[in-house]
Structure 1
Amino acid sequence: MLVIHHWDTDGITSAALTIKALGLDDFINIVPPIGEFRFDGRVKKHIEEAEKVYILDLNLPQEVEDVEKDTVFIDHHLQKKIKNPKVRQVNPILERMNGKEFPSASFVVSNHFSLWNSWSSLGAVGDIGNKAFEIPKTLELLKTEGLTKNEALKLVQLIDSNYITMDRSAAEKAVELVLNRPLKELLEYEPWIKNLEEIERTIKDVLSGIEVKNDIAFIEYSSPFNIISKIARKAVWEMGYNGAVVLNRSFHEKAQLYFRISPDLKEKIDMEGIIQILKNRGFNAGGKSEVLGIIFEKNRIDEVLGIINGYLASL
């Protein structure tokens, strides 16, 4: 049995719930390359060798269309209907159910298998943060393991530290740890604590070097950690800037840029228009009305910055 899951807390708890619900002793769980929504050669090799495949919390219908094994695909993202007859697609949105009742893949998995526990809640906290506590079931399930809100939030940070440090094997090992250790005990798991301390130290150092123009924070740094979205959120949501243009000049031989704006700038800045400009130049940019993200070759940093700065200068 092969379980392919997202690398974050929701994906990890969804995998643990699936494995427990099925009573699996003989299984392999893997994640795609962190930060890349695709199946690489390693994932495809495991699929070839598997008898049955579960794919959880991965909005990859285009990849699942090509899977030639008996597959169950459980997700909660907006996506198209899969035509592959070997795939059973479980997604409440496709069934026109109330998406608010399924804030995370862990809730979909729990509903599918009729198995609800603190892992279900932890996945929801991982995906929507404090909003998860507005769902009565979240708090009820956390209490069964004696977890407070703050402990749940801290656990999400600890589990997510594996993908933020880009440690694929650690993200996979996290499923085994969730399956076999009480969540209270994982609050003291030393490797995750060390990860988190290093991440927080790096973020603090990066945020000490902000330049500000017209109430927009411009931040540059170099780090192998996938912290760029956290830095942008902190600059806008916690430090109060109207926007943040964040550039990581050295991210695993590539460059990263993340541009986030506050609600006050949504009417003024056409983020989707900027994304389209970048796409027209051949960049694989994505995002929505308040955020833009892009990973690209280092030799095109000046080109990307020129597009962003040129747009802002025209306002």
Structure 2
Amino acid sequence: MHLIIHHWDTDGITSAALLVRALEMEGFTNMTAPIGEFRFDERIWNAIEKADRLYVLDFNVPNEVEKVKVPTLFIDHHTQPRIKNPLVEQINPSLGGKYLPANSLVVSEHFGIWNAWSALGAVGDVGEKAFELEIIRKLLGREGISREEALRLVELIDSNYITMDREAVEEAVEALLSHPIKELLEYEPWVKKTEAIREAIDGAVSGVEERNGFAIVHFESPFNIISKVARKLVWELGYRGAVVINGNFHGKAQVYFRISPEEAQRIDMAGVIARVKALGTNSGGKREVLGCICERDKIGDVLTIINEYLG
């Protein structure tokens, strides 16, 4: 059995479809990890035990790949160490100091297969910036896909993981393989999910409070929309920053703090992240973003720290 483990987003899904097409696989099983968790769970390890060959695509889990006991092709574009496991062939341009914005492009380059899926992976990972690359414009143009249609296709494919539907993420690979790409713009399961996500985002944004130019939003949703709500508030609605709290995300709380580039000059986000982490939360981020998952009774402690930075 050929087993493909891939990331849950558009880049992971298109990478898997490209691999199947490149190798002309007759029979394969594709799986994704529990959404949001960078590990192989028991379900995946059980499948690996039965596999003759394993493929790991766009899923940055070098520690897991070191442990596999079947011949494995590990294709990725994230920064990662060189794999020592002799059963693993590792294809990653970053090991040679080369950066590619999407794993779909690494798969395409490795196998010499180029189509709209290659481009959609990049649009999924870097958004509008992908259209600055001539290869992306050319691949989409060849199949008559406009910029708006490419962005819409990514929104549709990503709706599966945003609604936390692991099974639908896995089914998305077969949907790509069995439908002409433009037909998927009307693919009903994805269209329905996307509408539900938009409604949830609009509902969250409608409850915004403002404090000193910062947006504060509390909502409850099973959808993983917290970063999208924050982006909308800062990028589209022009707030200095946004503090977004999903008070019940599958029994946990999510807190997301995004600031504008101007505020990043003033606010030491690395310091905020370190202080929130010290509370025992699962937190991370970058210069303009803090993301945190914690027990619901810790929300107040996290917000106390963030409030100090709102001026």
Give the TM-score normalised by structure 2.
0.97
Which string of whole-angstrom CA distances, capped at 9 and with x for unpartnered residues, describes residues 172-214 of structure 1? 0000010111111000111111111111111111101111111
Which string of whole-angstrom CA distances, capped at 9 and with x for unpartnered residues, describes residues 8-28 of structure 1? 111000000011111111100
Query: What is the one-letter code of the residue matched to 1:32?
Result: A
Tell me how far apart the structure 1 counterparts of residues 74 and 81 of structure 2 sit (CA, whole Å): 12
Which of 293, 297, 300 pairs up with 2:298? 300
2:210 aligns with 212
Other structure's SS at 1:2 match: strand
Other structure's SS at 2:47 match: helix
1:48 aligns with 49
2:135 aligns with 137
- 1:67-216 mapped onto 2 (5 Å cutoff): 67-97=68-98, 99=99, 102-216=100-214
Tell me how far apart the structure 2 counterparts of residues 80 and 268 of structure 1 sit (CA, whole Å): 34
Tell me how far apart the structure 1 counterparts of residues 264 and 181 of structure 2 sit (CA, whole Å): 40
Tell me how far apart the structure 1 counterparts of residues 96 and 211 of structure 2 sit (CA, whole Å): 47
Q: What residue ranges of structure 1 are gaps of 5+ in the alignment?
A: none
2:309 aligns with 312
1:228 aligns with 226
How far apart are 1:304 and its partner, in Å?
1.5
Query: What is the one-letter code of the residue matched to 2:258?
Result: R
2:250 aligns with 252
2:21 aligns with 20
1:2 aligns with 2:3: yes
The farther-off stretch of 76-85 and 114-123 is 76-85
Tell me how far apart the structure 1 counterparts of residues 277 and 202 of structure 2 sit (CA, whole Å): 32
Tell me how far apart the structure 2 counterparts of residues 173 and 73 of structure 1 sit (CA, whole Å): 21
The farther-off stretch of 136-145 and 113-122 is 136-145
Query: What is the one-letter code of the residue matched to 1:297?
Result: E
How far apart are 1:85 and its partner, in Å?
1.7
Tell me how far apart the structure 2 counterparts of residues 259 and 62 of structure 1 sit (CA, whole Å): 29
1:276 aligns with 274
2:58 aligns with 57
The farther-off stretch of 300-309 and 29-38 is 300-309
Other structure's SS at 1:272 match: helix
Tell me how far apart the structure 2 counterparts of residues 276 and 82 of structure 1 sit (CA, whole Å): 30
Tell me how far apart the structure 2 counterparts of residues 206 and 284 of structure 1 sit (CA, whole Å): 23
How far apart are 1:281 and its partner, in Å?
2.3
Give the TM-score normalised by structure 1.
0.96
Q: What residue ranges of structure 2 are gaps of 5+ in the alignment?
A: none
Tell me how far apart the structure 2 counterparts of residues 50 and 134 of structure 1 sit (CA, whole Å): 40
Query: What is the one-letter code of the residue matched to 1:174?
Result: A
Other structure's SS at 1:147 match: coil
Other structure's SS at 1:29 match: strand
How far apart are 1:139 and its partner, in Å?
1.3
1:36 aligns with 37
How far apart are 1:297 and its partner, in Å?
1.1
In the comparison of the two structures, how many residue pairs are matched?
310
Other structure's SS at 1:72 match: strand
How far apart are 1:307 and its partner, in Å?
2.0
How far apart are 1:164 and its partner, in Å?
0.6
Tell me how far apart the structure 2 counterparts of residues 280 and 295 of structure 1 sit (CA, whole Å): 13
Which string of whole-angstrom CA distances, capped at 9 and with x for unpartnered residues, describes residues 195-234 of structure 1? 1111111111110111111111111100000000000001
Other structure's SS at 1:16 match: helix
Query: What is the one-letter code of the residue matched to 1:38?
Result: R
How far apart are 1:279 and its partner, in Å?
2.0
Please report the RMSD computed on the Cα atoms of aligned residues, expressed in angstroms: 1.0
Which string of whole-angstrom CA distances, capped at 9 and with x for unpartnered residues, describes residues 251-295 of structure 1? 011110111111001121111111111222222211111101111
Other structure's SS at 2:73 match: strand
Tell me how far apart the structure 2 counterparts of residues 63 and 14 of structure 1 sit (CA, whole Å): 19
Tell me how far apart the structure 1 counterparts of residues 259 and 81 of structure 2 sit (CA, whole Å): 29
How far apart are 1:144 and its partner, in Å?
2.2
Q: Percent identity?
A: 57
Tell me how far apart the structure 2 counterparts of residues 275 and 143 of structure 1 sit (CA, whole Å): 42
